[in-house]
Structure 1
Amino acid sequence: MATADVLSELPITPLITEKHSGIPERYAEQCKQSKARLYSNKTLPPSVPRDGELPVLPPDVDRDTFNKAVAELTELLGAENIELNDKPLVDGWYMEHPNTHDAFHIVQQSELVSSATVYPGSTEDVQKIVRWANKYLIPVFPISMGRNLGYGGAAPRVRGSVIIDLGRRMNKVLKIDGNSASCIVEPGVSYFKLYEEVQKTGLPLWIDPPDVGGGSVLGNCIDRGVGYTPYGDHFANHCGMEVVLPSGEVLRTGMGALPGKNGADNPSWQAFQHAYGPSVDGIFSQSNFGIVTKMGMWLMPETGHQSYMITFPRDEDFEQIIEIIRPLALNRILGNIPQLRNVIQELAVTGKPKSFFYPGNDPMPREVIRSHAKNMPCGDVAWCFYGTVYGPEETRNMQLDIIRREFAKVPGSKFMLPDELPADHYIHSRVRVCSGTPELRELDWLNWKPNGAHLFFAPITPTKGADARVVHEIVTRLHKKWGFDSFPTWCVAGREMHYIANIVYDRADDDEKRRAIALMREMVKEAADEGYGEYRTHLIFMDQVARTYGWGDQALMRFNETIKDALDPNGILAPGRAGIWPKRFRGKGYELLPGDEKSTPP
C-alpha cells in the first residue's frame, strides 16, 4: 500500500499531553510520516491467534495460585493498575509499542511473553509489588518504557513473568536545577518529554538524546546507552539513584545516602556521584539487583555548535580514518561522540525499501550501492563521518581547521557543512540530535525490509585501525554468509569505539529470523575469540555474551551470582537479565546458548 493511502487510514499517534509515551505536538507531522512509511511496508496482520490457555503462567506456579496472587495484587494496587496478558499480541510500532512481548520478535512472537503487567505509581507501590512477588515466588521483570527495541523491547527473559511497567504512572520530571545543570527523572520520562520540560523552563540547557527520542532517559542510562553530545556517555553523566531492592527495601546511592536537613533531599545528590565507601551505582546498571525508580542526570549548558560531514571514497580507507580520529578524540578536538557510517546507510535513511534500489534478496552488491550513492548528495563514496564541534565561534573554527587538515590526508576526502546539503538530507537530523534535540529520523532505515525489525551486534574495540579491521572483517564476512546487508557504524568515544552492526530482518519471515540468530551467534563467538566483547545485547543472547567474559574461570559471573543470591534469595527480580541467574533457576535449563532457540524454557 502506498504511503499516501496509509496516511489517510492510520490512527494518529497520541500526543505526550495525552499519554506519557506520546509524541510532542511539534513532532506530530514527522511522526505521522514516519509511521506511514513503516506501515506501507508491512504485510503482517495486526495480530495472530494465540494457542493454549492464557495468560501464560510463571514457572512453578499453578493457575489457582496465580489467580489468587493476581487477586491480592489487585487489592494492593487497584484493578485499573493490573492487566492480564490474555489478549492478542500486537506489535505496533516504535511510538505505540507493546509491553507484553518483543515487538521485534526474533523467536516466535509467543515465546518471550509475560503473564500480566502491573503499573506502580510510586516507589512505595514498587515495594509492594516486590514483596508480593517474594510471597508467591513469581518472577517480575521491570521496564521503564519498553522501547529497548533491538535488544528485546518489553519482553521478559523468563516466560510468564509479570512485567512491572514503571513508565505509565511514574513519568514525572521531578526537578530541573538551572544552577547545577541537572534534573531528577522517573522511569517514564522520555527524551521527548525531558526536552519539552526543559524548554518550558527557558533555561539554556540541553539534554543528550540517542538516535531516536521516544525511549526512557532513565532506562537508556541504566542500560548504558549512548548519545552524541559531549554528554553522550549517559551512565557517566547520571548522578544519584533511588533503588528498590529485591527485598522491598529502598536505598539511595551517592550523596543521597546522607539525609538532608529536616527531611529534604541532600543538596549535593545531583552534584557528586559518590558517597563514602564503595561506589555501588554501577551494580544497578545492566543488572537484576534492584529497580531504579528515580535518577539524577546532568544536563549540558547550551553552547554554540557546528556539525559537518566528511566523505571518503574507498572501502579500505577506514583504517586510516580511525588512526586520524584517535588523536583528535583524545585531545578533544572532536567535540562529541561522532559516527563513522558505511554509505549504504545513506540509502537506508531515505526511508525507501531495499527493493527500490535492488531487486534481489541477497546482500546488495557493492557496485549497486555505489551506483545509487553517486546520485545522492554524498556522492560515490564508501564512508560518511558525522561530527560536531562546540563552543564559541573562534574555538569552533580552530577545531574545524584542524579537522579539515587531518582528514584531508585521506586522498579524495570531502568536507561538507549542513548548509551545503539539501534540506531533506540526514545531516540535518544529526544537527538536531547533536545539539540536544530528540529526533525520529533514524527509524526510517527499518523500511529496508517488509515488517522491518532489527538486532544490534555491539562489540567494543580500541580506537585503532587494526582492531577495527578485525571486527569489521568478521561482521562483513558473516553477514554475507547468512545473507544480510551489513550496516556498520562506529561510535567513537575516544579511547574506544562502539561498533554497531545492525541486522535488519523481516519479522514475518521465519527463515530470516533463523539466519539472523545464527549470524548473531557466530559474530559473538568469533569476535570474543579475538578478544572483542559486546557492551549490550538482546535478551536471547545474554547468556552467550555473559559467558564470553570468562577470565579467571568465570570470576566476574561468580561474583555477580554471589551478589544476586545475597540480594535476591528467592530469585524473583528479572532472572536471567545480563546472563545472571539466581540459585533458584541456575543450571535448570533456562539459559539460552547456541542451538537452544528452538526449545521452550521449562
Structure 2
Amino acid sequence: MSPAQESIKDADFILPPDVDAKSFVAAMDEMRKVVGSENLEIITAAKMMPDSDGHYFNLPREHDLFYCLEKDTFLASAVIVPGSVEDVSAIVKLANKYLVPLWPISRGRNLGYGGAAPRLRGSVVLDMGGRMNKVLNIDDEHATALLEPGVSYFSLYGYLQNNGHKHLWIDSPDLGGGSVVGNALDRGAGYTPYGEHFSMHCGMEVVLPNGEIIRTGMGSLPENNTWQLFQYGYGPYPDGIFSQSNFGIVTKLGIWLMPDPGNAPTIRNTLIDAAVYAQKAEYSLSKEVLTETEVDEIAKKIGVGRWNIYGALYGPEPMRKLQWEVIRSTLMTVPGASFQFAADVEKEPKAKVLHMREETLKGIPNTYELGWLDWTCKNGSLLGFSPISPVTGADASRQYEMVKRRFHEFGFDYIGTFVVGWRELHHIVCLTFDKTDPDSRRRAHRCIELLIDDAAKLGYGEYRTHTAFMDQIASVYNWNNNSTLRFNETLKDALDPNGILAPGKSGIWPKRLRNRGFEIQRSSPTSDGASSKP
C-alpha cells in the first residue's frame, strides 16, 4: 500500500454503508475514467453548496435546498455526469463492483419533493440531465418526440418553436424548467388533456441494475418504426415498474405531443394566487395564520374569488361557443360566481394569474409559480403534499378541511389547488416554511407526517412525496399485510441483488440494507402540535 493510500481516512468522505474510504476512492477513480475528471465531483461537508447560492435554475446536486430535516440528512458522496447510455451502463457495473449506491436524477428540480438529494446518505448522485440533454427525434406526422433526461419543458418548447414544429404542443407543469422525462417518470401532471404525463409516454430505453440495456415496447424489435407510436409491444408490459422506482435508469423516453388539444381545469384557492404576486407581509402585518376575513380582503385586493377555476376551450369557434354555453350556464348557478376571459383583463402594468394560466393552458412553460416560495419569508422553502381523491365536491371539501385544520394547528396558511385529471382529483398542497428556523422545519415536517396518516384514514393516498416521507407513505399503502411493498422488495432483490440503485426510493429497500435503521420512522407522538409560539 502506498503512502498516499495509507493517508486516506473514512472521515474525509461522506461514505455510503458498507464502503470504506479506500474502496470509495478506488470506485471514483474508475468512474472518473469513464466520464472524465471534469464530470465527477467528490462531495465533502466543506464543498456543500451554500443555500444562498441555490436557485431554481442552479439547485444543489448534493443536498435538498428545501431541507425539512437537518441539511446533511440526505447528502451525496459524489456527483457524476454521464454523457451517454454507455457511460451509464459502465458506471452501474462499477457501482456493483464496489457496492456504491447510485441516485439517478434528471434535472433535480422537483421542488417540494426533495430536489436532487439522495434518499440514502452517501449515495452517488448520477446527474442524467447534465450532458444527456438532447431532443433526439421529432416525428411531425405522428406528433411524437424521443428525448434524453436533460430536456426541460423550456428546451422542448424552444426546439419545437425554432425548428418548424409550432403546430405541436407540449404539456407543462407549473414550472417549466424541470425534465420532461423525469416528470413523466415521477407521474407528474399538467393542465391540458395530455396532462397525465406518464400515460403519454411511449417507449423507454433503460439501464438495468446490472448494467444491461433494454428497450421497452416496440423498441425491442430491431429497426422497427413504431417505438413512439405503440406503447405495448409484445408480452408483459414492464414500463410501469420504472416509474417512481429503483428498478432501472431511463436514458431515453418517447413522449406523445399534442396535435389537437382539449381542456383540463384547475381549482385554486385565493392564497395560491396571492403568493404568485407578493409575500404574505405585503397583504398583512400579522404573523399568525390568516383569518377568513383577511383572506376575503386579499381576494378582493387581487380581484379573484375564494376559489377560482382556470380552464380553456379548444377547437373550431362554433364548437367552443357551444361548450362555453354549457359550462357558463352550469357554473353561474353558484351564488356569487363570475367569469373573465384573459383578453378582457389588462395585462399591464403587471400580468395577472389569469394571463399566466392562459400561457400554461397553451402549452407554454413558465416559472411564475416560484412566487409561492416567498410567501412565508424571502427565499423560503416548500414541502409538497399531494393526495388523490374522486372528482366530487364532497371529497374536495373533506380534503380541504383536513389539510386546513392541520396547517392551522401548526401555524401555516393553507395554499393549494385541485387539478382535475381523467377520473381523479389531484390535491396539490404547498406548505411554505423557513428552513433557517429549526422550529419552522420541525413543524413543517410533523404537519406532513400527521397529514399522511389523516389522509390514509379517510382512504386518500399521496401520488408522490418528499424524500423524507417515502417510508411512511409506503407503510400506509398496506393492504393485505403490505403485499405491494413485499412484491416490490421481491422485484428489487431479483433485479438488484447488490442493492446499488437508488436504495430507499419510494420506500423500497434492497435486502442488503433492509431493516438496518435506514428507514425513517415517524416522529415521537410527543412532538405533535405547534410550537409554544408558532
Query: Pick from 302, 322, 325: which aligns with 1:376?
Result: 302
Secondary structure of 1:485 counterpart: coil
Distance 1:90 1:207 in 2: 35
Distance 2:72 2:307 in 1: 40
Q: Is 2:48–2:62's contact at 8 Å kept on the other side of the alignment? A: no
Alignment partner, residue 337 of structure 2? 413
1:105 aligns with 2:67: yes
Distance 1:159 1:395 in 2: 55
Query: Pick from 218, 224, 245: which aligns with 1:287?
Result: 245
1:130-149 map, 5 Å: 130-149=92-111
Secondary structure of 1:500 counterpart: strand
Query: Pick from 116, 120, 133: which aligns with 1:154?
Result: 116
Secondary structure of 2:462 counterpart: coil
Alignment partner, residue 353 of structure 1? 279
1:307-386 map, 5 Å: 335-350=262-277, 352-378=278-304, 381-386=305-310
Distance 1:590 1:388 in 2: 46
Alignment partner, residue 531 of structure 2? none
Distance 1:55 1:426 in 2: 47
Measured against aligned partners, the alpha-carbon deviations of 1:81-112 in whole angstroms (never above 9, x if no partner) come to 11111213233110111111111111111221
Alignment partner, residue 308 of structure 1? none
1:404 aligns with 2:332: no
1:101-500 map, 5 Å: 101-203=63-165, 204-260=167-223, 266-301=224-259, 335-350=262-277, 352-378=278-304, 381-423=305-347, 424-450=351-377, 451-500=379-428
Deviation at 1:447, TM superposition (A): 1.5
* One-letter amino acid of the structure 2 residue matched with residue 353 of structure 1: Q
Q: Is 1:238–1:296's contact at 8 Å kept on the other side of the alignment? A: yes
Deviation at 1:194, TM superposition (A): 0.5
Measured against aligned partners, the alpha-carbon deviations of 1:380-435 in whole angstroms (never above 9, x if no partner) come to x3111111111111111111111101101111100111122231101111111111
Alignment partner, residue 47 of structure 1? none
Alignment partner, residue 491 of structure 2? 563
* One-letter amino acid of the structure 1 residue matched with residue 290 of structure 2: M
Measured against aligned partners, the alpha-carbon deviations of 1:172-208 in whole angstroms (never above 9, x if no partner) come to 0000110110000000000011011111222210111
In the superposition, the TM-score normalised over structure 1's length comes to 0.83
Deviation at 1:345, TM superposition (A): 2.0
Q: Which moved more, 1:384-393 or 1:70-79?
A: 70-79
Secondary structure of 1:341 counterpart: strand
Q: Is 1:232–1:336's contact at 8 Å kept on the other side of the alignment? A: no
Q: Is 1:541–1:593's contact at 8 Å kept on the other side of the alignment? A: no
Deviation at 1:494, TM superposition (A): 3.6
Alignment partner, residue 30 of structure 2? 72
Secondary structure of 1:436 counterpart: coil
Alignment partner, residue 43 of structure 1? none
Structure 1 runs (4+) greater than 6 angstroms displaced: none
Deviation at 1:209, TM superposition (A): 0.8
Secondary structure of 1:388 counterpart: coil
CA gap 1:539/1:558 in 2 versus in 1, 3 angstroms? same
Alignment partner, residue 467 of structure 2? 539
Distance 1:524 1:252 in 2: 36
Deviation at 1:275, TM superposition (A): 1.2
* One-letter amino acid of the structure 1 residue matched with residue 96 of structure 2: N
Deviation at 1:53, TM superposition (A): 4.1
Of all paired residues, the percent bearing the same amino acid is 50
Measured against aligned partners, the alpha-carbon deviations of 1:209-268 in whole angstroms (never above 9, x if no partner) come to 1111000000000000011111111001000000000000011011111111xxxxx210
Q: Is 1:54–1:85's contact at 8 Å kept on the other side of the alignment? A: no
Q: Is 1:121–1:169's contact at 8 Å kept on the other side of the alignment? A: yes
Deviation at 1:337, TM superposition (A): 2.1
Paired positions, count? 508
Alignment partner, residue 3 of structure 2? none
Deviation at 1:475, TM superposition (A): 0.4
Secondary structure of 2:100 counterpart: coil
Measured against aligned partners, the alpha-carbon deviations of 1:129-188 in whole angstroms (never above 9, x if no partner) come to 100000000111000011111100000000010010011110000001101100000000
Deviation at 1:302, TM superposition (A): 5.5
Secondary structure of 2:87 counterpart: helix
Distance 2:514 2:500 in 1: 13
Q: Is 1:144–1:216's contact at 8 Å kept on the other side of the alignment? A: yes
Query: Pick from 485, 502, 506: which aligns with 1:574?
Result: 502
Deviation at 1:464, TM superposition (A): 1.2
Q: Is 2:272–2:417's contact at 8 Å kept on the other side of the alignment? A: no
Secondary structure of 1:206 counterpart: coil
Measured against aligned partners, the alpha-carbon deviations of 1:279-315 in whole angstroms (never above 9, x if no partner) come to 1100000000000000000000156xxxxxxxxxxxx
Distance 1:161 1:597 in 2: 30
Distance 2:302 2:173 in 1: 26
1:38-117 map, 5 Å: 53-86=11-44, 87-91=47-51, 92-117=54-79
Deviation at 1:547, TM superposition (A): 1.1
In the superposition, the TM-score normalised over structure 2's length comes to 0.93
Q: 5+ unaligned residues in a row in structure 2: which ranges?
A: 1-9, 527-534
Q: Is 1:463–1:494's contact at 8 Å kept on the other side of the alignment? A: no
Distance 1:483 1:422 in 2: 36
Alignment partner, residue 7 of structure 2? none
Secondary structure of 1:159 counterpart: coil
Q: 5+ unaligned residues in a row in structure 1: which ranges?
A: 1-51, 261-265, 304-334
Distance 1:83 1:406 in 2: 58
* One-letter amino acid of the structure 2 residue matched with residue 120 of structure 1: P
Q: Which moved more, 1:355-364 or 1:516-525?
A: 355-364
Distance 2:112 2:75 in 1: 16
* One-letter amino acid of the structure 2 residue matched with residue 97 of structure 1: L
Deviation at 1:471, TM superposition (A): 1.7
Secondary structure of 1:531 counterpart: coil
Distance 1:122 1:76 in 2: 10
When the two chains are superposed, the root-mean-square deviation of aligned CA atoms in Å is 1.5
Distance 1:162 1:563 in 2: 22
Distance 2:273 2:478 in 1: 38
Alignment partner, residue 503 of structure 1? 431
Q: Is 1:131–1:248's contact at 8 Å kept on the other side of the alignment? A: yes
